[in-house]
Structure 1
């Protein structure tokens, strides 16, 4: 195989702004599953916008109006569409800033486009215009009990909410989630389902071990193959933790989707081979997100597989150009 040019250099020289859209409920883990892209390509090439900055009302005003942020009418989606279009053209914007600590808005800040732009928020895939601006999209979809446990921990620990306030907010949001957020799943290129591990729900809060499923339609734009190798000798001799891998076909509201599910913990050696495969395909080296760790979780593995899928989409667009 001929040597692969360093894909970071190719992206840096390209005029294209590649936009990754990540949709899902508040506190659903949207940032987690694009961390691999941030680590592989670095802050010089990757920028992130949280769509919370495009709320129309501050926290007190939402309470007075009895409206949740999940309602599209509580967000400046028209401004968001215009700003994302400008950024895709390589132009800078004045980005609004929502302060989660105070629940109010800070002054806007200059925001320059980078070669990879990640959009994370409630309404990333809500409008046809936003969807048309995305080059790859993900919907993060944890089970209700997992999602609300995470939200409670975050909002009381980081955002200053009282536990009773979080409970009230969860109850108020449920209908809006079903009406406005959940339907966006069918527009995503990939859906990530998150549930408690079958090896014990306590493993979630204790060790960040969950059952993670990556759902996607059959790929018709794959550029390069990738191997998920498992050394059975090493596995049978040295593996101390429980884990499982499952492939299945599922149907939600969308067409049939293929689901690859990981649960439990794996030896780091398994994921290291996956990292090396991505290095070989992209020329980006080193990729060593989880080095010095004995084991990795299902979340870690799906991060890497999703990053490979995103990189393949970017390579496909480069080849088309």
Structure 2
């Protein structure tokens, strides 16, 4: 018997746009068997062969930093009804032992990442496109808070990457697709209520379309 194609929602946003919180709120609306999530971040080509100093300058914000073929192959496997297993990305931190993520097919598939609209073969699979946006200064402050507190990065390194890697990639590989998205969500506040409200609305819409 043929496997029914999942309803696919693509979610992308700039660094600091609040995508992680949005995703967590969104996923909370569904049972585990109703939704699957596949994240582009788990397909970074390992940079752990580089020295720590080299890694500070390595540009992770390029489409070539991702194993694009494996990313698409695993999405296709989910379409075919197969469970996929992938080692989670640990931001090249040797102190963290990566877990193996198990992703099972589900009626709703969430694909998220910076390049999901830029990769033509991935973009062609999406039924619903969501774009999260935050003003640059707001996004930078969130990035600084995350990278300094959670990842132990140096502030100068964070700002260097922001100016030379993060923003150029955003303007080249994500922003041009904003007008093609079904929904653009502005997220300049740390008040969680607007995001909770919009995920309530979107999840109800996807439930009607897919379940």
**TM, length-normalised to structure 1:** 0.56
Larger Rg computed on CA atoms: 1
Between the aligned partners of 1:35 and 1:95, the Cα distance in structure 2 is 20
Between the aligned partners of 1:34 and 1:107, the Cα distance in structure 2 is 20
Higher RCO (CA 8 Å, separation ≥ 6 residues): 2
- C-alpha displacement at 1:307, in angstroms? 2.2
**TM, length-normalised to structure 2:** 0.82
User: Which residue does 2:174 correspond to in 1?
Assistant: 181
Q: Which of 15, 19, 23 is residue 12 of structure 2 equivalent to? A: 23
RMSD (Å) for aligned C-alpha atoms: 2.8
1:91 and 2:82 correspond: yes
Between the aligned partners of 2:47 and 2:87, the Cα distance in structure 1 is 12
SS at match of 2:88: strand
**Structure 1 79/187 Cα, relative in aligned 2: closer, same or farther at 3 Å?**
farther
CA contact (8 A) 1:49 1:118 kept: yes
Superposed, which structure 2 residues align to 1:225-264 within 5 Å? Answer: none
User: Which residue does 1:298 correspond to in 2?
Assistant: 194
Gap runs ≥5 in structure 2: none
Q: Which of 109, 123, 129 is residue 121 of structure 2 equivalent to? A: 129
Between the aligned partners of 1:184 and 1:102, the Cα distance in structure 2 is 32
- C-alpha displacement at 1:177, in angstroms? 1.8
- C-alpha displacement at 1:31, in angstroms? 2.9
Cα deviation, 1:137-168, whole Å, max 9, x if unaligned, reads 21111110111111111111212212222112
- C-alpha displacement at 1:89, in angstroms? 1.7
1:100 and 2:126 correspond: no
Gap runs ≥5 in structure 1: 1-13, 196-203, 210-295, 316-321
Larger fraction in strand: 1
CA contact (8 A) 1:98 1:105 kept: no
